[in-house]
A and B are shown apart, each in its own frame.
Chain A
Amino acid sequence: MYRLRRWGPAILLISPSLVLIGVFVYGFLGWNVTVSLSDWRGLRPSYDYIGFENYTRLAEDGRFTNSVGNVIVFTVVFVLGALFVGFFLAYLLERRIRGDGFFRAMFLFPMAISLIAVAIIWRWLMNNSTGAQQTGLNRLFSSIGLDFLVNDWFKADQPFAVMAVAIAAGWALSGYIMALFLAGMRGVSDDLREAARVDGASEWRVFWHVVTPMLLAVLMSAVVILVHISFKTFDLIFAMDSESRLIETPAIYMWFTTFDAFNFNRGAAIATLLMVGVSAVIVPYIWYSMRAERRQ
């Protein structure tokens, strides 16, 4: 009786959210899996069970394997790029120099605008027209004598096309990674650094031997977040060049096959695979975070 009186109101307060999440997240996920095992093609839903046929067909689908290859290249370039740039920026800004608020604001602003806007800018920057129509970065490179840098960007051959998109994505997210690393670096207590300095370590050594090892946790966070964003990326690629197979990822393919070609079952299968891929990184991450929190 006591327990009900004590916990009752709390459970009641949170139950609407639990119901909503239960339905709209877990319920829908299950529903999606069901569709992926069905024969639903066309506008009228149909739930006849056909087993894993959709999945096996995907394995044989050249367009799908192409998209998987693209997302892998994209992920690698994007994650590594954002990590390096972000870390480097954090390193530069670590020492509380004057105006660090200004610099941080500069590098973070892309997080405030939509990826559609980002795509529009970069699409024009990475335009590969030639001759009188040459524009964007290519035009810049030509006019300052860096002709060897002129290339087709996202219209180049695979896998380079998707790397170009990764550059745009990296531009948008490096600031976030920088902020993560900065937070981690600032979290290293000054006492540790001061002890190292008094012990004779140079500033660089202090940074490398004292600060950096404590950043492992941040690095893990950053990688998990970047990888999961990378799998989900849709807006950027869609707005950049939606119809191009050169940069098509599973997320894009899912959209076209579902809402354009009405192959709901195939789309659901792709979506489920995306889900599995993302879970593989996220579930351990959440589990680990909760455990670390409990230990505190």
Chain B
Amino acid sequence: MEPVGIRLENVTKRFKGDVLAVDDVTLDINPGEFMVLVGPSGCGKSTLLRVIAGLEEVSGGRVYIGDEDVTTQLPQHRDVAMVFQSYALYPRMSVRRNMGFGLRMRHTPKPERDRRVHEVADVLGLEHLLDRRPGALSGGQRQRVAMGRAIVRQPKVFLMDEPLSNLDAKLRVTMRAQLSLLHQRLGVTTVYVTHDQVEAMTLGQRVAVLNNGVLQQCDTPSNLFQRPVNLFVAAFIGSPSMNFVQAQVANGAASFADVTIPLPDGSPLAGSDRPVVLGIRPTGFALATDNSLPTIKAVPDVVEELGDERYIHFDIDAPRVDTEATRAAVEAKSAEDVLLLPEDRARFTVRLPMDAPVASGQPVTLAVSPERLHFFDPETGASL
């Protein structure tokens, strides 16, 4: 079957009590693409998924699957398959009947049903579990059955609502790779929802970042990482988070505390004189060597050992950036939720290789490349 695209056009969803879950989202998903919807909880990603499935009506806008306008179509008729966070396996049916249910509802003749169920069970390694009930399966097995149920249907679209979030961390990593493989083999258009930006970055061919119902940026993972379009995306994508500090751009350089870093060549801020929010990723630093890169002197107070890398944390004598965007990115409701102890100075995290000669309390000099700087408007959060 030819893969189909999905188009969401100005989709808005308002819930009772004037809660705007989805705010004028327009999104094009290419045929056969693996699109990830990511964002903090409450950002509207699950709602959007349910809109595509037909489990939610829209308050405005239109939904197209392929060329068909499905906006008012019942979920039964949309030919989409969904994998739920809790798997939603029918408790009283065997694995076989669970997987065959969708086909049964569509009046597929029994021999064909059995054949397809067996085929998929084989691929997923479930043949020996076909007669068991969901209650007798492990979490990972249930997850595979949920996937199998979707695959057997050979639908136009796969929808997945955080299917890996109930698995433990290590299993999640292996399942991620399996999902990618599966997508390569089946080639079905997939929309995948997660709140974990690592999952989003590793799985998505393109990733749509949402916050408060508004689509922030829809782009390839590397573009999201390297060219975030606003403060929220910059703060949300990447772990550990990008470091932010309030800085002043003047005379072709950005300065904060006692640090001055020249702007990169061709920067649009070259002639400006204005306050900005400066962002540098933890990976944007290196130990200073003799070359001519601008440097920052720091005295780390916390050093974290992670085996193959080290993170150091230190204070910067400049104001912290605490905006709605940065808070939303870590799902904090107020300033108090972000830190355990109150702090109004900026705090940086830097990643260094495991043999870097650093210790708590010992001053260290770090080099920064101007190319690794990100600038944002302090008012709007937009990228500059």
Contact = CB atoms under 8 A, between A and B. Distances in A.
B343 to A, nearest CB: 28
B223 interface: no
B74 interface: yes
Interface in A1-33: 1-2, 5-6
A2 B69 CA distance: 14
Interface in B39-86: 57, 72-74
7 contacts: A1-B72, A2-B57, A2-B72, A2-B73, A2-B74, A5-B74, A6-B74
Contacts of A2: 57, 72-74
Main secondary structure of the interface of A (DSSP, over half): helix
B37 to A, nearest CB: 25
B19 to A, nearest CB: 15
Interface of B: 57, 72-74
Nearest to A2: B72
Interface residues of A, number: 4
Contacts of B57: 2
A295 to B, nearest CB: 12
B81 to A, nearest CB: 20
Nearest to A6: B74
Contacts of B73: 2
Nearest to B75: A6
A251 to B, nearest CB: 43
Contacts of A1: 72
A1 B71 CA distance: 13
* Chain A to chain B: the 7 pairs with minimum beta-carbon distance, closest first: A2-B72, A5-B74, A6-B74, A2-B74, A1-B72, A2-B57, A2-B73
A7 to B, nearest CB: 11
A178 to B, nearest CB: 33
A259 to B, nearest CB: 49
Interface string A150-186: 0000000000000000000000000000000000000
Contacts of B74: 2, 5-6
A254 to B, nearest CB: 44
A94 to B, nearest CB: 32
B73 to A, nearest CB: 8
B75 to A, nearest CB: 10
A5 B73 CA distance: 10
A284 B73 CA distance: 41
A5 B72 CA distance: 11
A34 B72 CA distance: 48
Contacts of A6: 74
B52 to A, nearest CB: 16
A5 B74 CA distance: 8
B294 to A, nearest CB: 52
A182 to B, nearest CB: 29
Nearest to A5: B74
B349 to A, nearest CB: 33
Contacts of B72: 1-2
Interface string A50-64: 000000000000000
